[in-house]
Structure 1
């Protein structure tokens, strides 16, 4: 297949592109910069220049492809306080793709997230998040719209990604936690640290997106989850050991000051299963788990910024 990938030079996209090519697919990647274009060309992909705001570019690229994998999201804008604006831009891009792909039975795969489920619940692919009053309500609505594309003749699927997609080169949540621990001189967790995050290695996540494009039935919800839930305290202990700093509980009322923007995420208790995904697509994660990956040491090689 000729597959158009947004976010193709990003954290998961840069693993997905070679995975798709190795599997025999032709990849067309969206690039908003010269550096991204060069990286995609070097990886063997064709390049379309533009951003997720260039709806005519997105429509033309989708129309010329056999399927679309949409990974791009304005994370920089979202983390600087513009989450609503970033989510609205994402919805416009998704709607543009849906209009082009309607009636073609081509695959459209959306990257989404695991948030909004009740604490203590093991979320499955059949569960829907409770988003009332949540800032992620618009992203949940976008995911629901993608699933509804199935009724319009699109082989649509949504991959709910773990909050931690880890691996060498990660600049996300884990790298930020390491940077905060290094700056503060303590490796912290909120309260008793028993709350959990699911996790998946970026290479396993990339393969899941490829399998979704190849064979996920229309209207599929898929979970990019290798580990159902790793406690934040266990994560903090590994970080503390590698940095040789104390491991300390941070009171919930002090979390915002200590962890800054990460505090709202770090206190979530999100556990999720991927049993149905594994059975449906014969997907089996093979990369190291989160704690083992942290123990490899690459998160501690050089100081990272806290964003």
Structure 2
């Protein structure tokens, strides 16, 4: 099969493109610039890599026709963030593609009402990113069910892997939180530390895309959560990482508004964005229909990433 991956050098593409090549697919990629994947792999030598500025080409109406001109059997879109972008691609690719896979997000759910949350649970997205992604999902599933457009949506959790800082136990991306735990110092958490985060290793997300491609009949017209088997509470996450660094947990707690006063605005905002949603998503559907079995627990995925940060000198131990 000829597979086109749009936005191929990001977190998931780093693992997905080599998997596609090793499975025998002819792979074409589209990226805006010359960024390298996070992890080197010789499989990239056989990939037809194209440079396109999606935003600019969408503004002029050139992007969707350019995608169709590449004549891919399968199109995997890693970087679609607006309903308008999705509509343009669907209009151009209808009748010209055998499988279209869109990268969504578990933030389409907004706040959970039952946990673990199933894909079909009622959704209350908030924030532009979650609202737009939910609108794209609704549109693609409608196109699949009413018009036969071969769409599948994969919703990753908090993506983790070597090469970038993972979402930390305080619910933001400041690597100094891990330094605090590594030194055995006390870490302050918001509220009682019982809100949840749900990580996933980038390679497990790539594996789900491969499972969806391999199970065409089961995946068309469906959405799937791509997360680890279990979410973590902030408190449980912090305690486990403290022990991983060889220390007993030293945690303190304060109401969010009080806790936020001791944080930077950027960190406090990021934390609120995550704990206000507190995702805890089910993978039962993906296990049943795609045979999805994540290799990494949340902690294993984070620890691999943190180990890389330590090696880079970005976490003080």
Q: Which residue of 1 aligns with 2:67?
A: 61
Per-residue displacement from partner, 1:39-92 (whole Å, max 9, x unpaired)?
79845311121133123234322342112111125xxxxxxxxxxxxx4xx333
Contact 1:2 / 1:26 at 8 angstroms: preserved in 2?
Answer: yes
2:176 pairs with 1:179: yes
Q: Does the 8 Å CA contact 2:198/2:298 hold for their aligned counterparts? A: no
- Structure 1 residue corresponding to 2:154, chosen from 130, 135, 159: 159
Distance change in 2, residues 1:4/1:264 (3 Å): same
> Counterpart of 2:173 in 1: which secondary structure?
helix
Structure 2: which 5+ runs fail to align?
A: none
Aligned pairs for 1:105-184 within 5 A:
106-115=98-107, 116-131=110-125, 134-135=127-128, 136-150=130-144, 151-162=146-157, 164-174=158-168, 176-182=173-179
Residue in 2 that maps onto 1:301? 311
1:275 paired with 2:284, answer: yes
CA distance in 2, matches of 1:71, 1:33: 15
Secondary structure (helix, strand or coil) at the match of 1:234 reads helix
Question: Which runs of no fewer than 5 residues in structure 1 stay unpaired?
Answer: 74-86
1 CA distance for matches of 2:95 and 2:226? 27
When residues 30 and 255 of structure 1 are mapped into structure 2, their CA distance, relative to the original with a 3 A threshold, is farther
The answer to whether residue 94 in structure 2 is matched with residue 102 in structure 1 is yes
Partners of 1:168 and 1:251 lie apart in 2 by: 33
Structure number having the greater strand percentage: 1
Mark the CA change 1:303 to 1:112 in structure 2 (over 3 Å): closer, same or farther: farther
Residue 253 of structure 1 is matched in structure 2 by 257
Give the Cα separation in 2 of the matches to 1:111 and 1:128.
20
CA distance in 1 between counterparts of 2:75 and 2:258 reads: 43
C-alpha deviation, 1:24, in angstroms: 1.1
Alignment correspondent of 1:72: 79
Cα shift at 1:209: 1.2
Q: Map of 1:163-242 to 2, 5 A cutoff?
A: 164-174=158-168, 176-182=173-179, 186-214=186-214, 215=216, 216-241=218-243, 242=245
3-state SS of 1:228 partner: coil
Please report the TM-score for the alignment, with normalisation by the length of structure 1: 0.81
SS of 1:48's equivalent?
A: strand
Equivalences for residues 281-292 of structure 1 within 5 A: 281-285=290-294, 287-292=295-300
Distance 1:16 1:128, change over 3 A: farther
CA displacement at 1:243 relative to structure 2:
8.7
Name the CA distance, whole Å, in 2 between partners of 1:282 and 1:98: 28
Contact 1:4–1:28 under 8 Å retained in 2:
yes
Aligned residue-pair number: 287
Contact between 2:198 and 2:230, CA under 8 Å: does it hold in 1? Answer: yes
Shift of 1:295: 4.2
Residues 193 and 303 of structure 1: CA distance in aligned 2, closer, same or farther (over 3 Å): farther
Q: TM-score, normalised by structure 2?
A: 0.79
Aligned-residue offset at 1:120: 4.7
**Alpha-carbon spacing, 1:99–1:172, altered in 2? closer, same or farther (3 Å):** farther
3-state SS of paired residue (2:199): strand
How far residue 299 of structure 1 moved from its aligned partner, in angstroms, is 4.1
Q: CA RMSD in A?
A: 2.9
